[in-house]
Amino acid sequence: MNLANLIGFKRAAAIARKEARHVLRDPLTLGLAIGFPLMYVGIFGVAIELDAKDIRIAVEDGDRTQSSRALVDVFRNSGAFLPHPVAAGSDVQKLLSAERDKAVLIIEPEFERMLALGGEPKVQIVVDGSDNSATSGILSELGGLQAFANARIVPGARPPPLRLVTRFLYNEELNSKFFIIPGLCVVVMGILSILLTALTVAREWESGAMEQLLATPVRPLDIVVGKLAPYMALGFGAVLLIYVAARIGFGVPFRGSHWLFLLGCLLFQVSYLAMGLFISVSSRSILVSVQASMILGFMPSILLSGFIFPVESMPAFFRALSGAFPARWFMIICRDSFLKSGASGDLLKPFLVLAGMDIAILALAALRFKTDLEP
Amino acid sequence: MIAVLYQFARKELVQTLRDRRMRVFLFVMPVVQLMLFGFALSSEVRNTRLSIEAPPGDALIHDIYRDAVGSGWFVPAGSKLSDPYARIEAGDADAVLVAPTGGLDRAMERGGAQVQLLVNGSNVVRARAIEAYLSAIVASAAAERAAGRSAAAGPAPSLNMSVRVLFNPELDTPTFMVPGIMAQLVTLLTIVLTSQSLAREKERGTFETLIAAPVQVWELILGKSIPYLLLGMIQIPLVLGAAVVAFGVPVRGPLWIVALAAMTYLCATVSLGILIATFCRNQQQATMAGMLVNMPALILSGILYPVHTMPLVLRAFTYVNPVTYFAELLRNVLLKGGNPQLVLRDMAALMAIAAVLTAISVRRFTATL
């Protein structure tokens, strides 16, 4: 049996046409396919600022001298903090539990006099530890501020004997958009393809239309290929949308090879479409399909892929777990394609792993599909 | 009347809990997700592969390298490549410390020495943390060296900022995350379940039967919402209990406030579920719409990302988003013991949002009958 015989292209194309019509007729599916990537790019691209910026900090200035005001100015001019005065001696616990300020800066009386005498005046910073989005930003900002304040305010301060000069490769200004937006390709493609396939194929089972399809001379493999083709097109459309938004809207560079990136998209999408198929064939119900695709598609592609939370920091078990999902490998391909030149062949491993996963998941889905048909 | 409601709600609960997979989804998944957040996801940056480029006998930079590896944040990176840029390009290392030509020790003797740090900047969060950790390590190594050399000159005058972290001094990730995750879990569950159950009746045609039955509209609405409200109320203590037992998340405020806020909040989400269902014809649409609403509701709530840096349009959305108030209230009560003014404000906001959503969804529901 040759390949052309195995997949009757005509029959598959007919199924694909039917499925495409399904999609086009259903405004919600189409809206989801277009609105979903747009919304993600809009929200993640515009709303999320990973830099510490304009963090409200209450200042209890017990000294009220030129030096103490200079210290507050160091905070203000850093851009990370938005200091505003409160009465000295206010209850710190109360200030922070009112949720208006994320930190309190306490300058003790005698600050200037101590400085002039060459002592070590105490400055205290109390940080609200309940909000992780602010706390880590504040803490990493303070180190730099301390050195700067030293040089500015302390009379007779010696320059530090050793300086660390940092160069950030691939993203010199540490622009958070360069980090977030390439990752969106993974998130959007992953969620869209697994959800759409799981839902549509499950609907076919639930309404009994699948039995009718199977009773026609169309082969199971034709059905699968035909059904998945339109969703593949939708997925690629979503990636194209993100690509355009990234390059034009946010000025993200693309330094790698477009061909390799496309190949990565293809491999990733096949794995998730096959997973969606597997889910819907196994569950045959919309409700369960949705839950399963949430668990297999949504969570791994957002939480375990390294999109926001670095994989390298996870405990060994979860690092291994994240490696079992295609999203993590495609994330590497995506980020490297946008930011690195990708010339050194370190993408070989992600590509090989993705290809291997494709074969495994496809085989599993096909097997399940076949055994399901024979009662 | 009460009997009708009771029967209705019972039917709904039985229908939902009958499915074994549904029970798993309802009661096991939230705990699993909580564990995932607690154990796996942290904003700490660990296991950074660090390598150095320095002459073999250069003591100070090797000290710095040893300190870095000893701190637990960094692991040594092996590479066959000699060019520091190539090591990062090839993915062998995340960061490379480069000594000045001639060695750091000699540069220190001349004064004004510099160490160069190359960091892979493609992950912004990691890159920033790597720089912060290493600059602290470099500064303390240099200070140690200086103290050893110039004990006679006395310490340089300096300003000392002491940092104290309140409410979560160890910067424990689960403590950060749990209040937000609790809000997230019940949101998705109640919205999707409520809208799905209504959409299923529509899809199967049983909705007509329901309307034709001698049931009042409000009984219908209550009968469809109370079961999901109850399920949500069962989930909250489940997740909170797991958080307290497994991660030692503190409960510093009164729990009845948490219960009251949860109740109000669930009224809002269940109403939203009903509202979504009025726009949908089948379960597929209801699910997609639910997920579509859920995502921005979570991102634009301050659970994971700060709200104050968002552009005005998006910030406006955070002010009408019930998740914002529920998560803030949970965090405040659990970790800080509950500030009366803030609790009142958030409760009032939650009640107002719940009332508006209920009014809109009841109107839409009666209009579509």
Q: A203 and A311: one domain?
A: yes
| A282-311 confidence digits (pLDDT tens) | 877 777 777 777 777 777 778 788 887 778
Q: What is the CATH number of the domain that holds B113?
A: 3.40.190
Which residues are CB-contacts of B239 (< 8 A; sequence separation ≥ 6)? B30, B31, B34, B178, B181, B182, B185
Number of separate domains in chain B: 2
Q: A278 and A356: one domain?
A: yes
Q: Which helix (H) or strand (E) holds B161?
A: strand B160-166
A279 located within any domain: yes
Q: Which residue type, as a one-letter code, is found at position A249?
A: G
Closest chain B residue to the Cα of A163, Cα to Cα: B114
Q: A243 and A367: one domain?
A: yes
Q: A92 and A238: one domain?
A: no
Residue B145's domain comprises 48-149
Q: B253 and B178: one domain?
A: yes
CA distance A280 to B200: 18
Q: B312 and B190: one domain?
A: yes
Closest chain B residue to the Cα of A312, Cα to Cα: B47
- Asked if A208 has any chain B CB less than 8 Å from its own CB, the reply is no
- The number of CA neighbours under 13 Å toward the Cβ of B330 is 30
B338: left (phi over 0), alpha (psi -120 to 50) or beta: left
Closest chain B residue to the Cα of A155, Cα to Cα: B157
A171: nearest CB among B121, B134, B304:
B121
- Asked if A65 has any chain B CB less than 8 Å from its own CB, the reply is no
Q: A337 and A202: one domain?
A: yes
Single out the residue of B19, B199, B283 nearest to residue A203, CA to CA: B283
B163 located within any domain: no
- Contact between B21 and A291 using a beta-carbon 8 Å cutoff: yes
| Measured distance between the N- and C-terminal CA atoms of chain A, rounded to whole angstroms | 25
A331 located within any domain: yes
Q: B36 and B52: one domain?
A: no
Residue B224 to chain A, least CA–CA distance (Å): 17
A308 located within any domain: yes
Residue A1 has pLDDT above 50, yes or no: no
Q: Is the ipTM of this complex over 0.90?
A: no
Residue B75 to chain A, least CA–CA distance (Å): 11
B15 located within any domain: yes
CB A254 within 8 A of CB A337: yes
Q: A182 and A268: one domain?
A: yes
- Contact between A156 and B287 using a beta-carbon 8 Å cutoff: no
B357 located within any domain: yes
Residue A375 has pLDDT above 70, yes or no: no
A170 located within any domain: no
Residue B1 to chain A, least CA–CA distance (Å): 31
Which residues are CB-contacts of A275 (< 8 A; sequence separation ≥ 6)? A194, A293, A296, A297, A361, A365
Q: What is the CATH number of the domain that holds A99?
A: 3.40.1710.10
- Number of Cβ pairs closer than 8 Å across A and B? 327
Q: B21 and B89: one domain?
A: no
Q: What b-and-e string marks burial along A5-26, b requiring 16 or more CB atoms within 10 Å of the CB?
A: eeebeebbeebbeebbeebeeb
Residue A93: its chain B contacts at CB < 8 A?
166, 336
A169: nearest CB among B120, B161, B342:
B120
Query: Looking at A92, A119, A153, which one is the last position of a domain?
Result: A153
| A164-194 confidence digits (pLDDT tens) | 788 888 888 888 888 888 888 998 888 888 7
B162 located within any domain: no
Q: A19 and A77: one domain?
A: no
Q: A280 and A355: one domain?
A: yes
B115: nearest CB among A136, A164, A178:
A164
Q: B136 and B281: one domain?
A: no
Q: B130 and B260: one domain?
A: no
Between residues 43 and 82 of chain B, which touch chain A (CB distance below 8 Å)? 43-48, 60
Q: Report CA-CA distances (Å) from A264 to A257, A260, B91.
A: 11, 6, 18
B291 located within any domain: yes
Q: Which helix (H) or strand (E) holds A107?
A: strand A103-107
B157 located within any domain: no
Q: A330 and A236: one domain?
A: yes
Residue A321 has pLDDT above 70, yes or no: yes
A107 located within any domain: yes
A166 located within any domain: no
Q: B269 and B144: one domain?
A: no
Among A313, A319, A338, most B C-beta atoms within 10 A, so best to mutate, is: A313
Number of separate domains in chain A: 2
Q: B141 and B98: one domain?
A: yes
- Contact between B39 and A98 using a beta-carbon 8 Å cutoff: no
Q: A234 and A313: one domain?
A: yes
pLDDT tens, residue order, chain B (369 aa): 678 788 878 888 888 788 777 787 778 877 877 777 777 766 667 788 999 988 888 888 888 899 889 888 899 988 788 888 888 887 788 899 998 888 888 887 777 788 889 998 888 878 888 888 888 888 888 877 776 665 444 555 566 677 788 887 777 777 777 788 788 888 888 888 888 888 888 888 888 887 787 777 788 888 888 899 998 898 888 888 888 888 888 899 999 999 999 999 999 999 999 999 888 887 777 877 887 787 788 888 888 777 888 888 888 989 999 999 999 999 889 988 888 999 999 999 999 999 999 999 999 988 876
A163 located within any domain: no
Residue A71: its chain B contacts at CB < 8 A?
159
Q: A272 and A357: one domain?
A: yes
- Asked if A359 has any chain B CB less than 8 Å from its own CB, the reply is no
Closest chain B residue to the Cα of A112, Cα to Cα: B159
| A47-93 confidence digits (pLDDT tens) | 777 777 888 899 999 888 888 898 999 899 988 899 999 988 888 88
Closest chain B residue to the Cα of A140, Cα to Cα: B132
- Asked if B217 has any chain A CB less than 8 Å from its own CB, the reply is no
Among A97, A172, A304, A338, most B C-beta atoms within 10 A, so best to mutate, is: A97
- The per-residue pLDDT for B353 is 95
Residue A19's domain comprises 3-48+175-373
Query: Looking at A153, A185, A218, which one is the last position of a domain?
Result: A153
B319 located within any domain: yes
Residue B122 to chain A, least CA–CA distance (Å): 6
- Contact between B21 and A288 using a beta-carbon 8 Å cutoff: yes
CA distance A242 to B123: 19
Residue A204: its chain B contacts at CB < 8 A?
none
Question: 3-state DSSP call for residue B311?
Answer: coil
Query: Looking at B83, B117, B149, which one is the last position of a domain?
Result: B149
Between residues 43 and 62 of chain A, which touch chain B (CB distance below 8 Å)? 43-44, 46-51, 53-56
Q: A202 and A82: one domain?
A: no
- Asked if B153 has any chain A CB less than 8 Å from its own CB, the reply is no
Query: For residue A6, what are its two tokens?
Result: 């195995």
- The per-residue pLDDT for A114 is 84
Query: Looking at A120, A153, A186, which one is the last position of a domain?
Result: A153
B162: nearest CB among A56, A124, A203:
A124
Which residues are CB-contacts of A295 (< 8 A; sequence separation ≥ 6)? B29
Query: For residue B30, what are its two tokens?
Result: 């939230």
B155 located within any domain: no
CA distance A308 to B46: 14
Residue A6 has pLDDT above 60, yes or no: no
Residue A324 to chain B, least CA–CA distance (Å): 15
Residue B205 to chain A, least CA–CA distance (Å): 13
Q: B277 and B356: one domain?
A: yes
Closest chain A residue to the Cα of B286, Cα to Cα: A28
B40: nearest CB among A56, A134, A314:
A314
Average pLDDT value for chain A: 82
A218 located within any domain: yes
Closest chain A residue to the Cα of B167, Cα to Cα: A129
- The per-residue pLDDT for A372 is 65
Among A122, A166, A199, most B C-beta atoms within 10 A, so best to mutate, is: A166
Q: B52 and B36: one domain?
A: no
Return the higher-pLDDT residue of A345 and A22. Answer: A22
Q: B139 and B243: one domain?
A: no
Single out the residue of A355, A334, A298, A299 nearest to residue A184, CA to CA: A334
Q: B8 and B69: one domain?
A: no
